[in-house]
Structure 1
């Protein structure tokens, strides 16, 4: 009987092609994922509407709209047209931003199936993690749907983060605004590992298809409401590591 190709062989070939186009400093970390056959790379279609559409366009056409003045030049590594506009999570997101050495520690903090980042980049100061929104309903999310024992690990980690940030309602962090909370939790975890990560909330303005907010103040009110419900003060341990950006989609049309 002839040699039967590994069921991962097709994925490995695609990843090898991807590696060949990447900056040398991240090739090794991506190769770690290939050797272990662990993939959490989620291919995306070309965005037709909403934050998927606008973020892909911003990264590809107008990265200046995603570049705060006080952050060194960002190299965007996802989503890229040359990489099927893929989004990353778990070990693969760490690999992509050059933090593969922290993968084992992540598994202690959070089970597989963690946040899928809308965009990922790297600057001289560290990784940039992006959560993007185009209309207010995207901001709301229900409690975790994980089952035991994953649910227990998530609840325990969120409670630990909430308490460290001084939140007065830590028990609610796995019940309401779950997506918002887990993004904060991953930023907290990276900073605890000594990684100088920054979290960007990219809040698009004037989305015509989804009737999105027209002013930054509308987004600010949504974040303020979430913080109030979670018992999180406006200023906390992570405040200096979070950026709020408000690109106008008329600049991307």
Structure 2
């Protein structure tokens, strides 16, 4: 185990975890306390969280079913998150979603997205791809009512696009969200001579903003995106 996953687990196991996390969340409106629940828990219990499972046990089963039906045509694996935690956002129970990176290639490698594969043999896979495309498009249309120029898509920067879409969906259900892209600095276990590590906060900020710009997400970094029942914000931090 190495890279951003191991870095997250070490952070979670730290006796200063809550101080670290709340420091990263400063100015976002979110606070995490010992009364909150988060996944993963430790290096021993290192399972990454799926939102439907997290919603089922920390909010209600109806939300878990609804998010799965919105995202997928039929049963399949939904996106995993490096860290999910309940929290309080401006006095309301919400969710912190964390996507972590340890080197620039992790962003560059996912820029190609997940184009629709017309040659796939599985009808279920075809339908799931269509459903995911519709879900992201729905989120994009609604976000553009507030911030024009955002262009999240199944076929471009897929991971970033699906992260934004899920944050929008949760906020649209009345759950406020802080979506944090977290760059870990100097992750030496990924220093193989090929990966470009982040050595400063500016390294990470510049890398993420260039990536986000491909789908117009640079327009909403640190902006409160009102989704009707609640809102979400995307923040970029390093540790």
The correspondence for 1:207, drawn from 179, 187, 192, is 187
- Aligned counterpart, 1:228: 213
Equivalence map 1:61-140=2 (5 Å): 61=14, 62-63=16-17, 64-67=19-22, 68-69=25-26, 70-74=29-33, 75-81=36-42, 84-111=45-72, 112-124=76-88, 125-140=93-108
Any idea what SS the aligned residue of 1:202 has?
A: strand
Any idea what SS the aligned residue of 1:181 has?
A: helix
Q: In structure 1, list runs of 5 or more residues that go unmatched.
A: 1-47, 248-253
Asked if the contact 1:76/1:119 (under 8 Å) is kept, the reply is no
Deviation at 1:98, TM superposition (A): 2.2
> Is the alpha carbon distance of 1:194 and 1:224 closer, same or farther for their aligned partners in structure 2, counting shifts above 3 Å?
same
Any idea what SS the aligned residue of 2:180 has?
A: strand
Deviation at 1:174, TM superposition (A): 1.3
Asked if the contact 2:94/2:175 (under 8 Å) is kept, the reply is yes
> Is the alpha carbon distance of 1:82 and 1:96 closer, same or farther for their aligned partners in structure 2, counting shifts above 3 Å?
farther
Deviation string 1:179-226 (CA, Å, 9 cap, x unpaired) is: 111011100000001111221222111112224211122222222223
The correspondence for 1:241, drawn from 233, 236, 239, is 233
Deviation string 1:46-80 (CA, Å, 9 cap, x unpaired) is: xx321111100101103122212342234342111
Structure with larger RCO (C-alpha < 8 A, sep 6+)? 2
Q: In structure 2, list runs of 5 or more residues that go unmatched.
A: 117-124, 192-196
Deviation string 1:9-53 (CA, Å, 9 cap, x unpaired) is: xxxxxxxxxxxxxxxxxxxxxxxxxxxxxxxxxxxxxxx321111
Question: Computing the radius of gyration over CA atoms, which structure comes out larger, 1 or 2?
Answer: 1
Q: CA RMSD in A?
A: 2.5
Deviation at 1:160, TM superposition (A): 1.7
**Could you tell me how far apart the structure 2 residues matched to 1:119 and 1:161 are?**
22
**Larger displacement relative to structure 2 (144-153 or 198-207):** 144-153
- Aligned counterpart, 2:153: 173
**Could you tell me how far apart the structure 2 residues matched to 1:131 and 1:163 are?**
23
- Aligned counterpart, 1:194: 174
Bigger proportion of residues as helix:
1
Number of residues of Structure 1 aligned to a counterpart in Structure 2: 199
What's the TM-score once normalised by structure 2's chain length?
0.73
Bigger proportion of residues as strand:
2
> Is the alpha carbon distance of 1:84 and 1:73 closer, same or farther for their aligned partners in structure 2, counting shifts above 3 Å?
closer
Any idea what SS the aligned residue of 1:230 has?
A: coil
Any idea what SS the aligned residue of 1:242 has?
A: strand
User: Do structure 1's residue 219 and structure 2's residue 172 form an aligned pair?
Assistant: no
Asked if the contact 1:97/1:127 (under 8 Å) is kept, the reply is no
**Could you tell me how far apart the structure 1 residues matched to 2:232 and 2:169 are?**
15
